[in-house]
Amino acid sequence: MKRYQLHIDGQYRAPKSGAWFETQNPFTGETWAEIPRGDEQDVDLAVQAAHRALTTGPWAEMTATQRGALMRKLGDLIAQEATSLAETEVRDNGKLFAEMHGQLNYLPQWFYYYGGLADKIEGSTLPLDKKGYFAFTRHEPVGVVVAITPWNSPLLLLAWKLAPALAAGCTVVVKPSEFTSASTLEFAALFEKAGFPPGVFNVVTGFGAEVGTALVEHPLVAKISFTGSDATGRIINEKAARLLKHTSMELGGKSPNVVFEDADLEQAVFGAISGIFAATGQTCIAGSRLLVQRSIHDEFVKRLLEVARSARMGDPMSADTQVGPVTTPPQFKKVLDYIDVAKKEGATVVLGGKKGTAPECGNGWFVEPTIFTGVRNDMRIAQEEVFGPVLSIISFEDEADALRIANDVRFGLAAAVWTTDIGRAIRMSEKLQAGTVWVNTYRAVSFMAPFGGYKDSGLGRENGIEAVKAFLQTKSVWINTGAVASNPFVMR
């Protein structure tokens, strides 16, 4: 069995605790590797290394252009290792190889885009209202950044934090999810190969309550960039507020996918499927509330069922598989519990509703693609994030009704509208309370499109040019070119 090591200050090393924990393959249920159980001593070593790299040595001395060149080199190395990193992710999180391979092949773009941005972070000269000064701003790295990532897309979601952080000149300590740490530990090897100085990128694996807490509370950490559940996000944000640390929070969603009667129904069916059954529904942007206009409700559900019923569960490594297992045993239980809740609330199961026991599911933690009709928006199944292949269908009367239902939820990560009426598409996109609105598509993301949550779905934006600002702090510099103090006891 493979035994991984922590990655601190440019070296792989054993955890101070001398302890490892096991990680399982969600498809076979087998333990396939041991992950180091980091503790606060490893956290201290990693943060000290990141702080040294930030303040002294080659990274701190490097020009932004040189930083960008290193990032592009890293992108090239990721492209070379995309297949093996994707295989590791599939082994650890059970998502389809096709999905993870696609993500890994796309990942270099984050390092090319932000690598290019590194030397375009410009300050400005200030047209001062006071005579006798020259003043300008500098944008400097905010400091040591802690990235805390979830299990659903470990390296993609890390890249969303890491690439802008490196472009800004920060150094990083990452804590991946205890369920899917392997790919991040393998990824760390590429940093030294690319020529990054030691300490710029460190990985401490372990549990949230141990490593996560120690990282958030470490005095040399300036910023925490978190993706995960809103419950954990709140805990971290409260601590960070008390300790005056910067945060960005990408939390959950309960995204409405709204189908109007004038939509291209075939495309809308695919959109509904990709919103909830892709990635086994384990994505923060899952379109878990399907809002269908009453006039087409029955016809749409019929067409949706025809496609959903044929979704093939099975080995995530196989090119034929469309729905893989749920990643973790607690999540598997949670999804099944929510199905029970929905049944008790009076929603009607029209597809699935049980654990997957077909022969091709092997020993995996499968939940059948599940669809509920007759869902009311005040039901728990319509308000709470399930993070699994469970779709709630809610019918609506007209545009105003659709908007009211779509926005009547505490989350606001994403939303989609299916319509052939351009005016309606624009009206809806203006009024939907979500950080991303798709029109006639679903689950599209890009390094250049800002991503983040309205309402309880989070704070701050990742991706796009503005994301780099979250890793910078601004300094104003005043130079006296001849101003003379007439009264030293009064503000100049």
Query: Per-residue DSSP letters for 352-399?
Result: --SB--SGGGTTS--B--EEEES--TTSHHHHS---SSEEEEEEESSH
- For residue 302, give every residue at least 6 positions away whose Cβ sits within 8 Å of its Cβ, in sequence order, or none: none
Which residue, 234 or 312, has its beta carbon nearer to ligand ADP?
A: 234
Per-residue x/- mask for ligand ADP, residues 352 to 371, rule CB under 6 A?
Answer: --------------------
Binder of ligand ADP out of 177, 183, 247, 392 (CB under 6 A): 177
Is 170 labeled as catalytic in the residue annotation? no
Give the total of residues touching ligand ADP (CB under 6 A).
17
Binder of ligand ADP out of 115, 164, 228, 324 (CB under 6 A): 228
d(CA 168, CA 213): 25
Which residue, 215 or 406, has its beta carbon nearer to ligand ADP?
A: 215
Per-residue x/- mask for ligand ADP, residues 207 to 226, rule CB under 6 A?
Answer: -xx--xx--x----------
Which residue, 225 or 419, has its beta carbon nearer to ligand ADP?
A: 225
Q: How far is the CB of 328 from ligand ADP (least distance, A)?
A: 7
Binder of ligand ADP out of 236, 258, 342, 409 (CB under 6 A): 236
Q: Does 175 bind ligand ADP (CB under 6 A)?
A: yes
Please, is 83 exposed, middle or buried when counting C-beta atoms within 10 Å of its C-beta (0-12, 13-18, 19+)? Answer: middle
How far from the centroid of its chain's Cα atoms is residue 320's Cα?
26
Residue 249 CB coordination number (10 Å): 23
Q: How far is the CB of 207 from ligand ADP (least distance, A)?
A: 6
Find out whether 148 and 227 touch, Cβ atoms under 8 Å: yes
d(CA 425, CA 439): 7
Residues 97-156 that bind ligand ADP (CB under 6 A): 148-151
Closest CA to 75 of 104, 105, 111, 101: 111
Binder of ligand ADP out of 109, 137, 229, 429 (CB under 6 A): 229
Interacting span for ligand ADP (CB under 6 A) from 31-39, 231-239, 341-349, 419-427: 231-239
Which residue, 115 or 228, has its beta carbon nearer to ligand ADP?
A: 228
Residue 203, strand partner residues: 7, 174
Which residue, 150 or 356, has its beta carbon nearer to ligand ADP?
A: 150
- For residue 492, give every residue at least 6 positions away whose Cβ sits within 8 Å of its Cβ, in sequence order, or none: 130, 483, 485
Q: Does 232 bind ligand ADP (CB under 6 A)?
A: yes
Which residue, 139 or 175, has its beta carbon nearer to ligand ADP?
A: 175
Q: How far is the CB of 188 from ligand ADP (least distance, A)?
A: 16
Exactly one of 250, 368, 385, 462 is catalytic; which is it? Answer: 250
Q: How far is the CB of 184 from ligand ADP (least distance, A)?
A: 10
Which residue, 327 or 419, has its beta carbon nearer to ligand ADP?
A: 327
Q: What angle do CA 282, 375, 285 make, to 5 degrees?
A: 25
Query: Per-residue DSSP letters for 437-482?
Result: EEES--S---TTS-B--EETTEES-BSSGGGGGGGEEEEEEEEESS
d(CA 353, CA 342): 10
Exactly one of 40, 89, 210, 284 is catalytic; which is it? Answer: 284
d(CA 65, CA 167): 9
- Look up residue 204 and give its amino acid: V
Q: How far is the CB of 371 from ligand ADP (least distance, A)?
A: 23
Q: How far is the CB of 360 from ligand ADP (least distance, A)?
A: 27
Please, is 47 exposed, middle or buried when counting C-beta atoms within 10 Å of its C-beta (0-12, 13-18, 19+)? Answer: buried
Q: How far is the CB of 243 from ligand ADP (least distance, A)?
A: 13
Q: How far is the CB of 457 from ligand ADP (least distance, A)?
A: 13
d(CA 182, CA 203): 11
d(CA 236, CA 147): 12
Active site residues: 250, 284
Residues near ligand ADP, by CB under 6 A: 148-151, 175, 177-178, 208-209, 212-213, 216, 228-229, 232, 235-236
